[in-house]
Amino acid sequence: MALTREKTQLELMRIFEENFEIENPGPDDDLREKYEFDSIDAIELLVEIENLLGFKLTQEEKKQAMEIRTINHIYDYMDAMAKSRN
């Protein structure tokens, strides 16, 4: 089942609330600055992204994720990863 952007958004909001206690982050909020999102949080988020995508990311793909700063970046990243597999 392909994830629509709407479904991805709902899942990410759930993950941010349940795992990081961040409610309704703005799509362009800098996660590091506004929510003190750190590298440990980023690793945990990558595990959740892998679960949503339904496949494991390569080390190179995980390195690319380290540039993510906002929710919109996460959407774009997930979209690119999904397309790279299809």
* Short-list 76, 83, 70, 85, CA closest to 27: 70
Q: What CATH number is associated with residue 43?
A: 1.10.1200.10
pTM over 0.85: yes
- Tens digits of residue pLDDT in 35-80: 999 989 999 999 999 999 999 999 999 999 988 999 999 999 999 9
Q: Count of domains in the chain?
A: 1
- How far apart CA 27 and CA 53 sit, in angstroms, is 20
50 is in which domain, residue-wise?
A: 5-85
- At what angle are helices 5-20 and 71-85 packed, to 10 degrees? 120
- Tens digits of residue pLDDT in 1-47: 567 888 888 999 999 999 999 999 999 999 999 999 998 999 999 99
